[in-house]
Chains A and B, each alone.
Chain A
Amino acid sequence: MRSFLYLCTALAVIALAAWAYRENHMTQQAMNERRALEREIALLNETISIQRAEWAYLNRPDRLRELVDVNFEQLRLVPITGAHFGEIGQIVYPLPAPRAEISDTIEVYGAVEHLFAPSESVEQMP
């Protein structure tokens, strides 16, 4: 009985040692991965900051003004003035949605009646 207990203990020690060894390696591997990730994050952060700086540089007011001047022919952009403000009444109502023309065989899933709404109701819309 006693020797069996000893055997069990020894086996448990061996198993724990193996587990600890494995765990140690996994930790070191995770730490290596972490370092690599941190390096990547730092690099990406740097890239983002460069992109942000470049974006800000490309959108600097001086350059935008030059671009507006150069492309005046096509874009006709002018500084915003009071005359550009509209009234709510100037906004048109949405046009009735054009009815889908079905010219070919189609496969339909789900409720069919919604797809083929009665045409009168569409035309009655203001």
Chain B
Amino acid sequence: MIRTPLRPLARVLKARATGQNPDHIEQENLRLRREVARDGARLRAEGRLLALALLFLSAFVVLGARMGLLAATTPLELSRGVLEDISGARADIVDRHGRVLATNLATHALYAETRRMVDPVRAAHELARIFPDIDGARMAERFTDKNRRFIWIRTRLSPEQMQAVHDIGEPGLLFGPREMRLYPNGRMAAHVLGGASFGQQGVRAAEVIGVAGIELYFEDRLRDLAQVDQPLQLSLDLTVQAAVTEVLEGGKRMLNARGATAVLMDVHTGEVISLVSLPDFDPNNRPPPPTEGEPADSPLFNRAVQGYYELGSVMKTFAVAQGLDSGRISPSTIIDTRGPLTFGRFRIRDFRNYGPQLSVKDVMVKSSNIGTARIMQPIGATAQREFLDRFGFLEPMPLELAEAARARPLLPARWSELSVMTISYGHGMSTSPLALAAGYATLVNGGRRVTPTLLKQDQVQPGQQIIAQRTSDQIKLMLHQVVQEGTASFARIPGYPVGGKTGSADKPNPRGGGYKKDAVLATFASVFPAHEPRFALVVTLDEPVDTTGPEPRRTAGWTAVPVSAEITRRVAPLLGLRPVSLDIANASFQQGH
């Protein structure tokens, strides 16, 4: 910077020459210099003020925005266990009327911090006194092990046990809060609920994770913190489930069956009202998976959903329905039933000889294998396959259970003409009781495809029309005639007209090749009320024997039908069905034609 001199020589000389005071020049220059300095200082000060003002402004804006944000947020209520990183929260599961099927219960886990322990040996022996399965000596060894500082002792404590542990007075024994899954109804609906166990564990909380059934299927929904307050509502009805279980257990015991299963379904919505599989288990204390024997005999096995069996004559209804729907036959068409029907080396026989010919209705009523084989023969493999596929019999039947997708129906490797005939009476293709119930629901609800569900439905869009309304009406009447005149006479219940079809299938030999002797899977698929069906019920008994007569009887008419009838008698009033007389039902059938 070039400084202007205060007394420039040129001006001083000029001033002297004119007789002026040269000091004035110096003062003038000083003044100018100060003015420049002052202007600079002012500018700087203004800048600082502006920056400061901006700072304050932004601070106020931030504060204001934060306050506005706080005022606008909805108040959050802290529920139990939510603050933890590991959350034990899990939504309840309730039945269709809101009764609790599964809930969380606060409990405590017991752990030990060995460094804090005063008398580890005494504590170990005291613990062994409270919990009989704890070995005192081994526990003392673990407590005194220098390498261990932390030991889990129990994942769940009852209040009494907790008090007993408190009374030991050992400061090294500590309690961690836990959420425990509780199934208050015990074994009820065990196969639907599945069970739960602990996942990741921390001192303050532990994850509760589903291990099977609907608990596993809806794992994310049940643990979603946003929905944890809303219970998961199932379509099951606890009262109905209890009644079905009671009757089925009695029937299984009386008929010495190895297992039994029942599926009750709303024919319009596909809601499963009750699903029982016996033997069952207690989901509060889920047994370990079986390591030996047939997995299908384990209590964990859900026969209704995982059990794909050749169900026998109950499948004849679908063959007859296809015949009716194709327009080839009507209920009064006469079918040649002379037997045995030979096809290559294979012979198809009837349970007994029903004479040279039967009407289609009587093929159903008397359950003639030859009859359905003759009905299906001209229809052929492609059409049969396509028809069964429309009902969903060729795929695993979907249901909101973790197990549902694991089992698959057994289909013939090559869909030959012989397969067509055997499948027409239910051999050569396996079906689960659940799929059968959905199939019967579809047959009688006017022909609209039913997808089974375990969740309560408020409104259901009607499924795809699979068979004609007229076919559905004819099938309804035939099913009713089977009960009134045919193999299912034990299903006549005063007040509740039932329609249904029996099936007694020989069980395939597990070691491959042929069928077991004297081992029958007895099934009764029924719908009620017969004239305007609202519910479909499938009852399957595994190797039942009725020994009340002079010789053991194994057919479904003597085993599955009486059990099913008793279930219907108990359950229909619970479902709010008013009894109707048979005349009204018959009149309703007349009107339909």
Q: Does A46 contact B496, Cβ atoms closer than 8 Å?
A: no
Q: Does B184 contact A46, Cβ atoms closer than 8 Å?
A: no
State in angstroms the CA–CA spacing of A55 and B185 once bound together. Answer: 11
Q: Does B106 contact A50, Cβ atoms closer than 8 Å?
A: yes
**Closest chain A residue, CB of each to CB of B101:** A56
B242 at the interface (CB under 8 A from A): yes
Q: Does B246 contact A65, Cβ atoms closer than 8 Å?
A: yes
Q: Name the B residues within 8 Å of A80 (CB-CB).
A: 573-574
Q: Which of B42-50, B72-80, B204-212 is the interface stretch?
A: B72-80
Q: Name the B residues within 8 Å of A83 (CB-CB).
A: 495, 579
**Closest chain A residue, CB of each to CB of B107:** A50
Point out the residue from B103, B239, B569 that lies within 8 Å of A49, measured CB to CB. Answer: B103
Q: Name the B residues within 8 Å of A60 (CB-CB).
A: 184-186, 188
A26 at the interface (CB under 8 A from B): no
A41 at the interface (CB under 8 A from B): yes
**Closest chain A residue, CB of each to CB of B182:** A53
Nearest-CB distance from B478 to chain A (Å)? Answer: 24
State in angstroms the CA–CA spacing of A52 and B91 once bound together. Answer: 13
Point out the residue from B185, B241, B243, B570 that lies within 8 Å of A56, measured CB to CB. Answer: B185
State in angstroms the CA–CA spacing of A55 and B182 once bound together. Answer: 12
A45 at the interface (CB under 8 A from B): yes
State in angstroms the CA–CA spacing of A65 and B106 once bound together. Answer: 28
Q: Given the interface contacts A41-B78, A61-B242, A85-B579, does A53 sit within 8 Å of B105 by beta carbon? A: yes
Q: Name the B residues within 8 Å of A59 (CB-CB).
A: 99, 184
A62 at the interface (CB under 8 A from B): yes
Within 8 A of A (CB), among B236-257: 238-239, 241-243, 246
A38 at the interface (CB under 8 A from B): yes
Q: Does B80 contact A42, Cβ atoms closer than 8 Å?
A: yes
Point out the residue from B104, B188, B573 that lies within 8 Å of A61, measured CB to CB. Answer: B188
State in angstroms the CA–CA spacing of A62 and B282 once bound together. Answer: 13
A82 at the interface (CB under 8 A from B): yes
State in angstroms the CA–CA spacing of A38 and B77 once bound together. Answer: 7
Nearest-CB distance from B374 to chain A (Å)? Answer: 40
Q: Does B239 contact A61, Cβ atoms closer than 8 Å?
A: yes
State in angstroms the CA–CA spacing of A26 and B558 once bound together. Answer: 80
A81 at the interface (CB under 8 A from B): yes
Q: Name the B residues within 8 Å of A49 (CB-CB).
A: 80, 103-106
Q: Given the interface contacts A56-B184, A61-B242, does A42 sit within 8 Å of B103 by beta carbon? A: no
Q: Does A42 contact B78, Cβ atoms closer than 8 Å?
A: yes
B121 at the interface (CB under 8 A from A): no
**Closest chain B residue, CB of each to CB of A62:** B186
Point out the residue from B77, B78, B100, B570 that lies within 8 Å of A52, measured CB to CB. Answer: B100
Nearest-CB distance from A20 to chain B (Å)? Answer: 12
C-beta contact mask, A78-93 vs B, less than 8 Å → 1, else 0? 0111111100000000
Nearest-CB distance from B494 to chain A (Å)? Answer: 7
State in angstroms the CA–CA spacing of A119 and B185 once bound together. Answer: 57
**Closest chain A residue, CB of each to CB of B177:** A46
Within 8 A of A (CB), among B69-94: 77-80
**Closest chain B residue, CB of each to CB of A43:** B80
Within 8 A of A (CB), among B155-211: 182, 184-186, 188
- Most B CB contacts (10 A, CB to CB) among A38, A46, A82 go to A82
State in angstroms the CA–CA spacing of A65 and B105 once bound together. Answer: 25
State in angstroms the CA–CA spacing of A79 and B246 once bound together. Answer: 12
State in angstroms the CA–CA spacing of A52 and B185 once bound together. Answer: 13
Point out the residue from A53, A56, A65, A85 that lies within 8 Å of B573, measured CB to CB. Answer: A85
A72 at the interface (CB under 8 A from B): no
Q: Does B494 contact A82, Cβ atoms closer than 8 Å?
A: yes
State in angstroms the CA–CA spacing of A80 and B77 once bound together. Answer: 44
State in angstroms the CA–CA spacing of A65 and B250 once bound together. Answer: 15
Q: Name the A residues within 8 Å of B494 (CB-CB).
A: 82
Q: Name the A residues within 8 Å of B185 (CB-CB).
A: 56, 60-62
State in angstroms the CA–CA spacing of A80 and B103 once bound together. Answer: 29
Q: Does A84 contact B573, Cβ atoms closer than 8 Å?
A: yes
Point out the residue from B77, B243, B570, B573 that lies within 8 Å of A41, measured CB to CB. Answer: B77
**Closest chain A residue, CB of each to CB of B82:** A42
B466 at the interface (CB under 8 A from A): no
> Can you spell out 23 A-B residue pairs with CB atoms less than 8 angstroms apart?
A41-B78, A45-B79, A46-B80, A50-B105, A52-B100, A53-B100, A53-B103, A53-B184, A56-B100, A57-B182, A59-B99, A59-B184, A60-B185, A60-B186, A61-B242, A79-B243, A81-B569, A82-B494, A82-B496, A82-B573, A82-B579, A84-B573, A85-B573
Question: Using a CB–CB distance below 8 Å, which chain B residues touch chain A?
Answer: 77-80, 99-100, 103-106, 182, 184-186, 188, 238-239, 241-243, 246, 494-496, 569-570, 572-574, 578-579
A42-B79, A84-B573 given; 4 more Cβ-contact pairs under 8 Å? A49-B80, A52-B100, A81-B570, A82-B573
